Amino acid sequence: MQELTWWQHSVVYEIYPRSFQDSNGDGVGELKGIIERLDYLVHLGVDAIWISPFYPSPMADFGYDVADYCGIDPLFGTMEDFDRLLAEVHRRGLKMILDFVPNHTSDQHPWFLESRSSRDNPKRDWYLWRDEPNNWLSNFGGSGWDRDETTGQYYYHSFLKQQPDLNWRNPAVKAAMFDALRFWLERGVDGFRVDVMWLMIKDDQFRDDPPNPGYRMGQPSNHRLLPVYNSDRPEVHDLVAEMRAVVDEFQQRVLIGEIYLPVQQLMTYYGRDLKGANLPFNFQLLQCAWSADAVAQVISDYQGALPEGAWPNWVLGNHDQPRIATRVGPHQARVAAMLLLTLPGTLTMYYGEELGMTNVAIPPELVQDPAEKNEPGLGLGRDPERTPMPWDNSRASGFTSGTPWLPLNDDHATINVAALEQDQSSILHLYRKLIDLRRSRRTLVSGKLRSVTAEKGVLRYQRIGQKDRILIVLNLGMDTAQIEFEGGTVLASTRAERVGKAVNGFTDLASGEGLVIDLA
């Protein structure tokens, strides 16, 4: 088998820094807190961490409104803390991926303050200014255009009005943003997850988006139009290729793109000659129905659509999506873990997934997320999946000595790292076992994926290496299924007592049960 680069065989662990570990009692996690918990991540077995933004920011969108691309917000620490974190990460053999937010800055970024100061300011054209708005919408509700009182023109914002979109057609913007990438690459970071990669370039004629004939009342307001002219524009691919070339000025780095698009369009982000994103995030499992049929279809479609030589990746959750254990329930969360960790390529997990953490209902007075505040009651809020990591059964679960910025999970007395550590049958142990297996059996990373089938609620597939064959059988259905095995040994099971046992002939597989089998 050909030698893999680090990111190809990595399990990437997303850390939402506000919620991972607080070390100064202000109720918000920071970089120092992450350092304190690195040994946990080593023990879990992950290879890389991706940290959501920690740059200086007014926090209108909790750091996705960046006011300085080359700094650290005091809430999260100092540049010294950053350098120490990076050194500690590397000392443990882990890699570190930063979040890069190129589509928009904060309205408090000096570039925007200059840009909005007058129509003839040299930075005017760094953003998208128009005399009249067109019909483009904001992803956080309402028109995407806001009128600036001083200069009487409108600027476009794909998200909040505090997040004006940059004009990536302007070479000076490109140069400045690429320098920001180099700043971090020179400091030694191992790559970037690029925020909303598919939105970066808009139609240069600012044509109106057409109405969405499928729109129904009660859906988020931005679904009213089809985002034809303000997303996934053909020119974006040249830009992604340029970004990749910057990352490739350095050895062994990775470029990951956040892209929510149907699978065929997603694949175009690998770029011509695979010179685009190394990994356009594959969010298909976040969106599909939880059934053997649907998941089998997703796997086959994705594998079938991958361009020659493109490296696959899979994701079960992130800071914008309902947690997997809430979507599918606690039993199926184990099946989901087994699914994720036996699929080919690079995998990304979201902090707390390994605990079976669920969404936390946030009372209205504690809501933080602008997505919920702007369009309340539609279930758009992301606070529920951003609650603090529960480490132990103390008052604030070892997350903080103060008051956590979002409430902890109600069940934090039992669902926490320390408690699950004690229980050999816990989902935490299952995750660790599966990550470990993936490390010792590289067939699970790079072996061929074959024989994907769904029958009676059971999803099956095989991973074929040069010298081994591994069968994965997952009961996503509601009923026990009888499965016929040709003979093999259980490598991993959602029920720990099955590990190491032989399977042969007919075996019952309960709902929510999964097996990874070494075929003789």
Catalytic (active-site) positions: 195, 249
CB of 139 to ligand NOJ, least distance (A): 7
**CA within 13 Å, CB half, 74:** 1
Q: How far is the CB of 52 from ligand NOJ (least distance, A)?
A: 7
DSSP three-state, residue 245? helix
**Both tokens assigned to 43:** 């023990």
Q: What is the DSSP letter of 24?
A: S
Q: Are 66 and 101 in contact (CB under 8 A)?
A: yes
Q: Tokens for 511, please give them.
A: 């709902």
DSSP output for 486-507: EEEEEEEESSGGGTT-EEEEEE
Spatial contact of 417 and 432, defined as CB atoms under 8 Å apart: no
Whole-angstrom CA distances from 493 to 226, 463, 465, 470, 504 are: 44, 16, 20, 13, 15
Beta bridge partners of 129: 155
Q: What torsion do the CA atoms of 116, 119, 125, 130 make, to the nearest 10 degrees?
A: 90
Tokens read off for 61: 């969108």
Give the nearer residue to ligand NOJ in terms of CB position, either 101 or 325.
101
SS3 276: coil
Short-list 464, 503, 511, CA closest to 486: 503
Residue 296: CA count within 13 A, CB half-sphere: 22
In terms of CB distance, is 155 or 431 closer to ligand NOJ? 155
Centroid of chain to Cα 94: 18
Q: Please state, in angstroms and rounded to a whole number, the distance separating the CA atoms of residues 506 and 468.
A: 22
Cα–Cα dist 29/41, whole Å: 16
DSSP string over 49-67: EEE---SS---TTTTSS-S
Least distance from ligand NOJ to the Cβ atom of residue 203, Å: 20
Give the type of residue at 465.
G
Q: In this structure, are residues 264 and 202 in contact, taking their beta carbons and an 8 Å threshold?
A: no
Residues that bind ligand NOJ (CB under 6 A): 61, 64, 101, 159, 195-196, 258, 319-320
First to last CA, the chain: 20
Of all helices (H) and strands (E), which one includes residue 173?
A: helix 171-187
In angstroms, rounded to a whole number, what is the distance separating the alpha carbons of residues 421 and 427? Answer: 9
Query: What residues contact 59, with CB distance under 8 A and at least 6 apart?
Result: 65, 73, 75
